[in-house]
Amino acid sequence: MSQAQYTETAAPSVMPGGEALRATNIVKRFGAVTALNGVSLHLKKGEMLGILGDNGAGKSTLIKILTGYQPPTTGTLAINGEEVALKSVDHARELGIECVYQDLALVPSLSIYHNMFLNREPLRAGPLRLLDHKTMRQRAADALEDIGVNIPNVNEEVSMLSGGQRQAVAIARAVYSKAKILLLDEPLAAMGARESGLILDLIDRLKKRGDLSLIMIAHNYAQTLEVADRIMMFQHGEVTFERASAETSVPELLDVVRRNYKVVRGAH
């Protein structure tokens, strides 16, 4: 059933406004700690949602739930309008959910193309099951070019790349693996202005493809506003603010944070 919907979204004409993801009333408790307290969100096909929030706001818990790493205590997830209980990370991947983690999960001592195909390497025909380096090189170069990333040599070790290039390789890997919903965990963390610009451009291009729905988790308000269609603010495990990027501003976001900070302090 969901398979049928893939083909639908993979077709050049994407049904605009269709729903890629919906989370309803997600609660996640770890013992006495409530990390997420009734969070609901939705993501349209081809939409880019920016999620802002400080440390401890529940952003990483949300990622773990959306990627199938942990189940929610209560609440439901629906993908392409169909309710699912994610059983594992692999299960989430089968459904087209990929996450580019902050640590990127790249192996520095391996080449770009080996990293792109880690654990899904094409093999040459024959009983020896040898790696098909040639196909990997070619496809890796194509996949990078496909998303407009200019890395001259896919044989280069990842350890030789800049932070932005590494991020681009990790994103290309996720996109190449037929992601439909791409989660980006702090893609701009610890990156200089120029590098951030490159990644923001890349995210912009991915958005324009129309077949990917993106959720970007970030700290930087200005950059997130620039690239996201819609902004959600997470504070203390709850959604405290949600608006289209065009209808809000950095000062307003800062004001929301300040107000809630005061409320919390007042409560103590």
Return residues touching another protein (CB under 8 A): 10, 12, 89-90, 101, 103-110, 114, 118-119, 121, 123, 128-131, 133-134, 137-146, 150-154, 156, 160, 176
Distance CA 62, CA 46 (A): 20
Quote the DSSP letter at residue 200.
H
* Beta carbon of residue 138, minimum distance to another protein (angstroms, whole number): 6
Q: Which is nearer to another protein, 22 or 166 (CB)?
A: 166
Q: How far, in Å, CA of 154 to CA of 136, rounded?
A: 9
| Burial class of residue 91 (count of CB atoms within 10 Å of its CB; 0-12, 13-18, 19+) | middle
C-beta of residue 240 within 8 angstroms of C-beta of residue 74? no
Least distance from C-beta 25 to another protein, angstroms?
A: 28
First to last CA, the chain: 50
Residue nearer to another protein on the CB measure, 84 or 110: 110
**Cα angle value 242/246/80 (rounded, 5°):** 55
* Nearest-approach distance from CB 109 to another protein, in angstroms: 4
Nearer to another protein, 12 or 266 (CB): 12
94 or 242: CB nearest another protein: 94
Smallest gap from residue 163 Cβ to another protein (A): 14
